[in-house]
Every structure is written in C-alpha cells, then in structure tokens.
Amino acid sequence: MPVCDRGTSQPLATLGLTLRAALATALLCATLVASAQGPTLAARMQGPFRFVSAVDVALALGAPLVSGPQGLTLRAPNGVLTVFAGAPDAVWQARGAREPTEVAALSPPLREGDDWFLPEDLLDVLGVRVLADAAQLPDGSLRGLSFPPPVAVGTSPTAELLELAPAVPALRMYAASPAGAHAVSLLAVDLAMLALAFPEQQAALDAHLRDLVGVKALFLAVTSLGPSAWDPAIYARQDGREVLLREPLDLQVLEGDPAAVAPGAPVAAVAFLPNDFDLRRPITLRWAGASGTLTLRRRARRPLRGVRCRNSAPWPSYHGSASCNGSGG
C-alpha cells in the first residue's frame, strides 16, 4: 500500500529518485559539522544573515590580515579583499588581474570591538563557501562554524533555532544516547523551502514538489555522534492540538536505517503535517524529551495598491514569498 499524506491521494513514492537525490544534498549538509576538520570559525547571526570571523578566515587560508576602525584588507592566495565599515560594497582584486573590481554583499560587515565578521556571500570571492553550519575552504576541507550559545526555544534547553539560508528557518533538537548527552540530533525544516537552502538542487526540487501542492511536510535529518537508533516519529502541536506523526502513514523514511544511525550514516525522512496547520504561525515540535517552537514561513505581505503581482504560477509559492492570492500557508 503506498504511503500517502492524510487528505491527499498523492503517494510520496511517485516523487521518484530525483527528489531523493535532491534531498540527499540537504542530508549531506546536515552532517557537515560532524566531518569538519581543524579549528572552528567564529560566526555570528544577525537577522537572516550569517557572518564569519575575518581573523579565523585569514588563519584558515594562511592569509595576512590588516584591520582597523575603518575596515580591513585580507590578502588571500587568490586575491586581495578590502572591506569598509558600514558598507556592503567591497573591493576585490583577483590574483593576476590588472585592475580591482567592486563586489557587493547583502549586508555590511559586522564589528564587535576590534573583531570583524564578514558576510557569508562575500566569502565566495575567497573561495570559501558556507554550508549549513560549516564552511568549505578552497582546498575542499571543512571547518565548523561556532556561534554563540543559542537561546533556548520552546520549553526545552536541548533545542535551537537555525537559519539554513535567509528566510529558511529550521529547528534542531538533541537527545541522549550511549555516545553522550546530546549525541543525537534531529533537524526539521519546511520541505518546500529546501530549494532556498540548497539552490543547486532548486530545479529538481521545484519540478517534483509540484506533485505535493497543498501538502504541508517537514524534511527531517537525524544524525548521531555514535551508534544509535531512531524511532521514526515526532509530535507536532498548534493551538493546543498535538498530533503524533509516525511511520508509515504520517512519516516516511527516504534514506538511511533508523535502527542504525551513526557517524556517516544519517537518516532522512519526510513528516506530513495536518492540512489545517498554519505554517505562518508557531508550531511546536516534540521529540525524545526535547521540544522547540518555530514559524516555518513568513507572513505574506499584501501587494502595494496599483502594483500588479508578478507571481502568476498556478501553485503556491514554495519559497515563502508572498503570492497575490495570499496562498502558501
């Protein structure tokens, strides 16, 4: 019997191997920190943007760094980057180039005392790519990102809110196992928002998520620091109503073996939320004694008067942006 969401006759199995391959990228990113090598890089979160310590980046690249109150200059192996206080624009001169060019980031750099933090999109020119909560250096090696201790959410100190990408919130909960007190983690994110977090898979995700129009689902990634097992189930609560999402009717494992979660052997799953849950209002998730609350999508803003909406797609926006008819939640 095919596994279907309650209230729809569309079986998840019809999404096919392409969606599984796309979700495998997300699952891989969820395990990056466990495979990171070398010292972590200090990082900060401000609104939807992530910033990485300029000093730590320079040390990781073996690059000289000169900084002061007005900005900094980092001489990386592939070029020279100059960043200015309060400005999203920077100057970049690639190695071998005759003239420098201007590059624009989404946010100005952060400054805390004498320490500078560079916006994640500006690191691209240095060959450094930020993935989930790790950074990939030009040589392919990974460094974990070290954020300040998270503020506990919901009712449990073993949960934290993350931003996988701007406007893509996620909830990570921790549980005990023989490997340690917080050795097992479960990451939950809106399935329909994965394309924003992993743009290289956007075409595949968009093509196949059209088969799930109207379905509200969570992508779950379970990882562990040691041999462990996961009971494929999670509780979801909204407005005083709590439901158990359990395999096989409300949850399906896509990759991995829940009975053998281990380093390098994570599990990916999809959990179907009830159709009457509002994704633009807080939802509390509970698992293994941990709980946390998150809002999966932002409130849609009404179009300005006299401005014609350009979103003419016949399906709700999967990327959390406002649609003309106010759908998507």
Buried b (16+ CB within 10 A) or exposed e, 155-181: ebebbbbbbbbbebbbbbbbbebeeee
Residues 21, 168: one domain? yes
Q: How far is Cα 145 from Cα 143, in angstroms, rounded to an integer? A: 7
Residues 254, 198: one domain? yes
The pLDDT of residue 184 is 85
Domain endpoint, select from 140, 162, 193: 140
pLDDT at residue 287 tops 70? yes
pLDDT at residue 2 tops 50? no
Q: Can you tell me the mean pLDDT for 29-41?
A: 60
| pLDDT classification of 132: cutoffs 50, 70, 90 | low
The pLDDT of residue 209 is 67
Question: CB 202: neighbour CB atoms within 10 A?
Answer: 16
The pLDDT of residue 326 is 35
For the chain, the average pLDDT equals 75
pLDDT at residue 278 tops 50? yes
Residues 158, 230: one domain? yes
Tokens, residue 159:
């949960």
**Higher-confidence position of 16 and 108:** 108
Mean pLDDT lowest for which of 25-39, 60-74, 310-324? 310-324
Residues 208, 64: one domain? no
pLDDT at residue 124 tops 70? yes
Mean pLDDT lowest for which of 13-17, 56-60, 171-175, 191-195? 13-17
Residue 317 domain-assigned (yes or no): no
Highest mean pLDDT range out of 80-84, 159-163, 178-182?
80-84
Q: How far is Cα 171 from Cα 234, in angstroms, rounded to an integer? A: 13
Q: How many domains does the chain have?
A: 2
Closest Cα partner for 6 from 320, 274, 301, 309? 274
Buried b (16+ CB within 10 A) or exposed e, 9-35: eeebeebeeebeebbebbbbbbbbbbe
Residues 105, 220: one domain? no
Domain endpoint, select from 107, 140, 173: 140
Among all chains, which residue has been given the structure tokens 């979160």?
A: 45
What are the φ and ψ backbone dihedral angles of 218, each rounded to 5 degrees?
-110, 135
The pLDDT of residue 127 is 95
The pLDDT of residue 195 is 75
Q: Can you tell me the mean pLDDT for 165-184?
A: 79
Q: How far is Cα 231 from Cα 253, in angstroms, rounded to an integer? A: 11
Containing structural domain, residue 77: 41-140
pLDDT at residue 11 tops 50? no
Residues 252, 195: one domain? yes
Q: Can you tell me the mean pLDDT for 189-217?
A: 75
Residues 260-270 have pLDDT tens digits of: 888 878 888 88
| pLDDT classification of 10: cutoffs 50, 70, 90 | very low
Asked whether 171 and 158 are in contact (CB, 8 A), the reply is no
Q: What is the pTM of this model?
A: 0.52
DSSP label of 155? T
Residues 36-91 have pLDDT tens digits of: 456 889 988 765 577 999 999 999 999 999 999 999 999 999 999 999 999 989 99
